[in-house]
Structure 1
């Protein structure tokens, strides 16, 4: 039976379509995988937004975040937790893990930067500077636990540099999370608190009194690296590259981070 020209045209079109789908490098019908990212909980809002944007381009890759303070992240990795990427809020965590061979060689880099701010409740009027915390009427200052929450380390450095640590340390109330510090200040359980700028802007119940000037504490750098246990190294590299794209940087800037382009490695 003789085939019509229409039949051959349809057949050729079908063959071309199949070849295009199978060979097109931008084809998103790739194998579905999950990337596990361990990250500082201060990155939660920004990373949540970025996940949505990333999945518009890579719907086959599920980004699974495991968020905690830096001390907890380090402990999890040391105890054998498996994953792909680690983004703590202090370099010492990666220093320790790198020395113990938990990181994939050559993947570590400085990623983001943060800042420490002094916060008070919305109706507080008598605090405008860090030195005001020495006043007798200031009874409680909420800040991060130096071991569990990295922001506490930087807060302590500020008081040392200002020469007022001995006057204020009796007032310290230590928290394991910046969200707890925000809650304490919002509810009046503390007169003031020190948190990351990126956390302070998320609360409607506190206001930022002042930003800690450069030099009052060591740089707050978020390093990033691929874990040696990663089963998806290529995809992990791709995600890190996306985190440094203009689209991702716009999100980080929205949440008051200092982006990679302004950080030296």
Structure 2
């Protein structure tokens, strides 16, 4: 009797084991490793290149999910100063990065890129320019630039117009934008006659054309520094992206969009 019960129990256990094995494929094999989200505060002019770099980076780092907060460098600077979440800051101006470094809010920073300032007009514009002084002409009604206080491209544009001694004369024509991409939109839609953007922005649109390339000597050098936010809770992952931004893979993408390397 005892032997019969043992055999019966063994058969039941074997059946249960077989059912467990058959059911196993219906269960997730191994829980996917949780992704770490990295929030990157980046200048609006970097949007196209970073969106492409994001795909390459995440393919190589499947455990990291990049999220971008695009805007003017000055606005992003203020957000970080006020404690808004951010893991890495990629600025279009040295002034904004230096301010955060001075306050001890950035733990590591380095210049990643250079850019050029250009004056653009709608692609169907018949007007040609040889100098920004020609913006004084009565036929030019509106000129878009970024807010000089918060948009580096606006700061460079202001410096250019001051150097060329036309800043004061053009005050009534100036239309201020929240970031360089808004300047681009104003020119694309014909809401202004001309605007100042980076060369990289101009190259993204078929609705505008470059009227004048601004020589570097009339404004502050255009540099793009990146740095890790000191209060980042994911400094290891943020550093991985910071390092990747300096890689050959990232550099090839940046050059493709018209940026220059330091």
TM-score range, shorter chain: 0.7 to 0.9
Greater CA drift, 187-196 or 165-174: 165-174
Give the count of matched residue pairs. Answer: 230
Q: Does the CA-based 8 Å contact 2:109-2:228 persist in structure 1?
A: yes
What pairs up with 1:84-95 in 2 under 5 angstroms?
A: 84-95=87-98
Any idea what SS the aligned residue of 1:167 has? coil
Other-structure match for 1:22: none
Other-structure match for 2:129: 128
Other-structure match for 1:254: 256
**CA RMSD, Structure 1 to Structure 2 (Å):** 1.5
User: Aligned partners of 1:72 and 1:225: how far apart in 2?
Assistant: 16
Other-structure match for 1:159: 161
- Any stretches of 5+ residues in structure 2 without a counterpart? 1-31
Correspondent of 1:232 among 231, 234, 240: 234
Greater CA drift, 47-56 or 30-39: 30-39
Q: CA deviation at 1:234?
A: 2.1
What is the CA deviation profile of residues 229-256 of structure 1, one whole-angstrom value per residue up to 9, with x for unaligned ones? 1122222222111111111111101111
Does residue 1:62 correspond to 2:69, yes or no?
A: no
User: Aligned partners of 2:142 and 2:235: how far apart in 1?
Assistant: 46
What pairs up with 1:1-265 in 2 under 5 angstroms?
A: 32-104=35-107, 107-129=108-130, 130-259=132-261, 263=262
The alignment's TM-score, normalised by the length of structure 1, stands at: 0.82
Any idea what SS the aligned residue of 2:46 has? helix
| Structure of higher CA gyration radius | 2
Q: CA deviation at 1:30?
A: 5.9
What is the CA deviation profile of residues 17-42 of structure 1, one whole-angstrom value per residue up to 9, with x for unaligned ones? xxxxxxxxxxxx86521111111111
Any idea what SS the aligned residue of 1:37 has? strand
Q: Does the CA-based 8 Å contact 1:127-1:133 persist in structure 2?
A: no
